[in-house]
Chain A
Amino acid sequence: MFIPHTPSEKEEMLKTIGMKSLDELFQDVPEKYRFPKLNLPPALTEMEAMEQMREYAEANESTRELICFLGAGAYNHYIPAGVDFILRRGEFYTAYTPYQPEVSQGTLQAIFEFQTLIANLTGMDVSNASHYDGATAAAEAAVMAYHNFRGKRNTMVLSPAVHPQYREVVRTYICGYENVCTAGDSEDSDPLAGPEALYPLIDENTAMVLVQYPDFFGRIFDYTALAKKTHEAGALLCVAVNPTALAALKPPSSFDADIVVGEGQPLGIPLSFGGPYLGIFATKKEYVRKIAGRLVGESSDSQGRRAYVLTLTAREQHIRREKATSNICTNQGLMALAATVYLSLLGKNGLKQVANLCYQKAHYAAGQIAALPGFEVVGASPFFHEFVVRCPIAVKELNQRLLDRNILGGYDLSRDYPALNRHMLLAVTEMNTKEEIDLLVETLKEVSHA
């Protein structure tokens, strides 16, 4: 197993330190509470453990068996074999944070390349080494905006069309700051309103405006006018992105976003029941010293050779302690590596191809569903690979019927938006064949007739 000591080695070591038993090592622990009996099952061998894990795994119905049209922040994409091949190299996954650059150049250069890829994909000047996920990246953006204005602007304007979980995490993160509040996504706001609905809320108290691109409902808006309004009020515009969509859509830099955050899971990271994923965070040069999280910079070594190192560490908790603006240490290193390998393998043309397949298949599906009696594809806005469908029956019931046909239906929007009763959010990716889409449409049709 994982502890190599033989009984005689143990005895020899105890003798060296002048002890008779292992129990003696714990003399500082209050005797009353020492060595509790733990009510856990008995130890398993590797063979038994793996069998047990298989049993738990097989009690789930996975997207390998089900046809998946579920997205809402986590997407079923193809992951090339090369990605996991690199991730399983012990040199990457059994290393620690690259604090010692001389023996960590592999991790450091990979992160540096990740920062470059994300900066190029988003069109921004700089990217950090990652955050936990898209939601916490959005929350860290809000915290950065708060500090940028030294606490003098106290409102975070959140579009109701931003992922509900992102908005919840932003709320959790800012509640430690005095008098900071959110606006824009109250219960009486129209979830499907466009960005114009936010204009009246943006004023001299606004620190940051948060929108999503494509938004939670899959819609694409040009945020140029919103950016102008935001900047006229002196506030920062943060755009949460889907990185796959950015291969097809103009980057957020084109409408002058100040911060770009996003969920990097679509870039070669398995669904894995919600994590670990990858938080993307990119911004303009002028805010580089205010970014939370790690940054890798290029430098040179004692012989003048190119070398990489963690930089601007003076911002961080282990130096600044209570004066740091974030407590974050390292976070998603291996996931950033997955995205780096994925983007390298697909490259410019591969990612464009994936984005185009998502777009085309989603539009085919939407067109077919729109033609079904009782169903309506909601909204006139262009969309990327997700769209909202108004259904003739409750989504929960509909999904049950789809599941009977091995189809994992869309997200039930009434869970977050009471106004969107009977509204389903469907996602289509390159993984869905025309045949699968036709089966979905066929099944929906039967259900509406029944």
Chain B
Amino acid sequence: MPEATIYELTSAGRQGVRFPDADVPVSPLPAEFAREELPLPELSEIDVIRHFTRLSQKNYCIDYGFYPLGSCTMKYNPKVNEEAARLPGFAAIHPLQPEETVQGALALMYTLQEWLAEISGFKGVTLQPAAGAQGEYTGVMIIRAYHESRQDDKRKKIIVPDSAHGTNPATSAMSGFEVVGVATDASGNVDLDALKATLDDTVAGIMLTNPNTLGLFEQNVLEVVRLVHQAGGLVYGDGANLNALLGVVRPGDLGFDIMHFNLHKTFSTPHGGGGPGCGPVGVAAHLVDFLPDPVVVMVEAGDDDTAPLYGFRRPDKSIGRMKSFAGHFGMMVRAFCYISMYGGDHLRDIADYAVLNANYLMHKVKQVYKVAYPRVCMHEFVVEGRWDDAPEVHALDISKRLMDYDYHPPTNYFPLIVHEALMIEPTETESKQELDQFAEALIKIAQEAHTQPELLKSAPHNTPVGRVDEVKAAKDLVLCCWMPDSK
């Protein structure tokens, strides 16, 4: 049943929330500025709550079931994080309050900066970037500022392997760099010969995802880092896949100069149906001065009797401000709570079980689905969603059919270098039983693909709507619902 829109549900005169009358003398707004028509809906509270409750029931979510969306790290979102972020001492503080009135928030941010630096092996961390894509942007701007500060103005190229997320080349181009691609070799690593061919004194840096988007640890990582450094470039790590490395290896130790974190992937903050995220950036010692404005510093160290004093500071050669205020503080609170519940002794469990789950699931399905690069994988793996003897079936059809089995599909058609890719990331929070059942569903669908392919082509059958016509959406372009007559 399609749900009516809020504009269709509107009934003139209804109002969900009222406010007190003015307790001060009133005077009218000057007529030349006053608005006449305000085309907003009119609904009672129950209309609103039912409408959005019914809409919510049309969504698949982690709280309902398995969500193996590769590269997105759809792990369980702990409920205690939600409680913590809503404490009035966090939710009801203003970003411009005097620093002495927000020492708890500043202490939390300072400690989170320190923890992320410790986890990743970097010297300094900014929490300001709003999301992974903005973290990347921050990182690439730092690369630019670093070379500029050395008057090394020939460096116009950024190397991006062909397995990279689309944001990597987009970010480099936005920052004024020329993007140079590098191929992947037969074992799923950066092709070293291809890399060497691109390296000269015009290279500003490389954007490297490790584990890469095939779910594989870059076996030549130390050599890649060495070569890029030798050419005078910096190494940027896309930290989207950090979940596989917690307590296993620190990118800073491997020689990475910069990396962004996705708190909404690795550190359990919810994805929110598409944000808000949080994309902190860690940098090695030689780049600390370039971090965005502001970072949190300890202004005065404390002692037994007095707590330290924290404050905001603009780094000396800062690339500037990436967004308003100090970042997505509510997400920092959640990530802080999460890290403190694993601690130094158990953080590695996350990577251990994420990688165990991925390898276990890969093992369960590899007889039926061709694994693109058959090696021990990290937190995710990529299979081909196609068979020579079922030519009409595509990865998309398998994805849609999985919905009928009550699963969210994996990522499909990414990475681009695998034909009909299905990218599967189970995360550490799924149990063996859940993985077994999912593997069974995948195998059953493979059988259906050969015996009843039309079942896949016409899937999904059990969802609130069937396949949606994307061509029509782009052609007719209806971006707003029915407007009241006043418009």
Flag if A94 contacts B399 (CB, 8 Å). no
The interface size of chain B toward A, counting residues with CB under 8 Å, comes to 203
B107 on the A face (CB < 8 A): yes
Flag if B248 contacts A29 (CB, 8 Å). yes
The listed residue with most A CB atoms (<10 A of its CB), out of B102, B273, B360, B465, is B273
A334 on the B face (CB < 8 A): yes
Contact segment of A40-48, A184-192, A202-210, A231-239? A40-48
Q: Which of A319-334 contact B (CB under 8 A)?
A: 319-334
B229 on the A face (CB < 8 A): no
Q: Chain A residues near B87: list those with CB within 8 A.
A: 53-54, 57
Q: Quick one: closest B residue to A87, CB to CB?
A: B272
- A82 partner, pick from B49, B248, B272, B330, beta carbons under 8 A: B49
B298 on the A face (CB < 8 A): no
Known contacts A105-B464, A274-B325; is-contact A354 B481 (Cβ 8 Å): no
Flag if B275 contacts A334 (CB, 8 Å). yes
Contact segment of A153-161, A296-304, A371-379, A386-394? A296-304
Flag if A14 contacts B356 (CB, 8 Å). yes
Q: Chain B residues near A399: list those with CB within 8 A.
A: 98
- A352 partner, pick from B38, B41, B357, beta carbons under 8 A: B38
B40 on the A face (CB < 8 A): yes
Contact segment of A119-127, A193-201, A442-450? A119-127
Measured CA separation A97–B480 after assembly (Å): 19
- B58 partner, pick from A68, A105, A249, A411, beta carbons under 8 A: A105
Measured CA separation A72–B165 after assembly (Å): 37
Measured CA separation A307–B346 after assembly (Å): 44
Flag if A347 contacts B40 (CB, 8 Å). yes
Q: Chain A residues near B33: list those with CB within 8 A.
A: 220, 222, 248-250, 382
Flag if B80 contacts A17 (CB, 8 Å). no
Flag if A4 contacts B430 (CB, 8 Å). yes
Flag if A119 contacts B59 (CB, 8 Å). no
Q: Chain A residues near B40: list those with CB within 8 A.
A: 117, 120-121, 247, 343, 346-348, 351
B113 on the A face (CB < 8 A): no
Min C-beta distance of B471 to chain A, whole Å: 8
Q: Quick one: closest B residue to A168, CB to CB?
A: B321
Q: Which of B294-332 contact A (CB under 8 A)?
A: 307, 319-331
The listed residue with most B CB atoms (<10 A of its CB), out of A16, A102, A133, A288, is A102
Flag if B104 contacts A59 (CB, 8 Å). yes
Measured CA separation A222–B32 after assembly (Å): 9
Q: Quick one: closest B residue to A415, CB to CB?
A: B96
Flag if A29 contacts B217 (CB, 8 Å). yes
Min C-beta distance of A417 to chain B, whole Å: 15
Q: Chain A residues near B323: list those with CB within 8 A.
A: 132-133, 135-136, 169, 275
Q: Quick one: closest A residue to B101, CB to CB?
A: A61
Q: Chain B residues near A222: list those with CB within 8 A.
A: 32-33
Flag if B473 contacts A30 (CB, 8 Å). no
Known contacts A104-B60, A135-B323; is-contact A303 B39 (Cβ 8 Å): no
The listed residue with most B CB atoms (<10 A of its CB), out of A3, A72, A115, is A3
Flag if B55 contacts A105 (CB, 8 Å). yes
- A94 partner, pick from B25, B57, B62, beta carbons under 8 A: B62
The listed residue with most B CB atoms (<10 A of its CB), out of A56, A246, A359, is A56
Counted as pairs of residues, one from A and one from B, with CB atoms less than 8 Å apart, the total is 670
Known contacts A107-B274, A317-B170, A331-B276; is-contact A96 B69 (Cβ 8 Å): yes
Kindly supply a per-residue 1/0 record for chain A positions 428-444, scoring 1 wherever the CB is within 8 Å of any chain B CB and 0 otherwise.
00100110010000000
A286 on the B face (CB < 8 A): no
B281 on the A face (CB < 8 A): no
Min C-beta distance of B253 to chain A, whole Å: 5
Q: Chain B residues near A96: list those with CB within 8 A.
A: 67, 69, 72, 74, 271, 273-274, 408
Flag if B104 contacts A57 (CB, 8 Å). yes
Q: Chain A residues near B221: list those with CB within 8 A.
A: 30
Flag if B88 contacts A22 (CB, 8 Å). no
Flag if A251 contacts B345 (CB, 8 Å). no
Flag if A361 contacts B105 (CB, 8 Å). no
Measured CA separation A340–B48 after assembly (Å): 10
Q: Chain A residues near B75: list those with CB within 8 A.
A: 2
Min C-beta distance of A223 to chain B, whole Å: 11
Min C-beta distance of A405 to chain B, whole Å: 13
- 28 cross-chain CB contacts under 8 A: A3-B353, A22-B352, A25-B352, A28-B219, A35-B247, A41-B343, A43-B345, A53-B333, A56-B90, A57-B89, A61-B93, A63-B94, A64-B92, A86-B56, A104-B59, A106-B55, A106-B57, A113-B481, A127-B480, A168-B293, A175-B141, A273-B94, A307-B465, A327-B136, A327-B174, A345-B45, A346-B17, A356-B26
With A127-B479, A132-B323 given, can you name 14 additional A-B contacts, CB distance below 8 Å? A13-B356, A17-B356, A34-B249, A40-B344, A70-B96, A82-B45, A96-B274, A103-B403, A298-B478, A320-B170, A331-B130, A332-B275, A346-B16, A347-B15
Question: 9 tightest A-B contacts by CB?
Answer: A274-B325, A57-B89, A59-B104, A90-B63, A274-B95, A330-B274, A334-B272, A333-B274, A43-B343
